[in-house]
Structure 1
Amino acid sequence: MARRLSGQTALILGWRPEEFWTATPAELLAIFSAALPASTEAVDAQSLANLMEQFPDAPTGGD
């Protein structure tokens, strides 16, 4: 797991292994948190219903 995370961090941030292994968890959290959207509000029921109407699931099975 650590090897994979190191590799992904190198790709995303352009870090060399030494930079990854010397970073603290707080530094990694700060960097990746900055990449998340500022708002993490939940979708309300009406918005979800509108999206479901606009983009219905494709039928599965049968015919």
Structure 2
Amino acid sequence: MSFAEGAARAAGLAGVAFGWSPDAFWAATPAELASLVRAVAGDAPAPCDSDTIARLKERFPDG
């Protein structure tokens, strides 16, 4: 994907997710966009690593 394609996709997503116009997207800094994305994502926990999954499988063998 080229920069232009990626930027157009990001602008479209910002419009849908945050109600931004194209002008608002292009006037924003990457940090501003990232802070909104983090706010929407919330405080999601980190995904389990393979050791944690293995321990859970041992503890709960029925799935």
**Which TM-score applies when normalising by structure 1?**
0.65
CA distances 1:1-30 after superposition (whole Å, capped 9, x unpaired): 111110111011111000000000110111
Identity, in percent, stands at: 29
Structure 1 unaligned segments of length 5 or more: list them.
Answer: 54-63
Structure 2 unaligned segments of length 5 or more: list them.
Answer: 1-5
Rg larger in structure: 1
In 1, Cα distance between the equivalents of 2:26 and 2:38?
19
Q: Tell me, yes or no, if structure 1 residue 14 matches structure 2 residue 19.
A: yes
**Which TM-score applies when normalising by structure 2?**
0.65
Q: Which runs of 4+ in 1 moved over 4 A?
A: none
User: What is the root-mean-square deviation of aligned Cα atoms in Å?
Assistant: 2.0
**Count of paired positions:** 51
Greater share of helix: 2
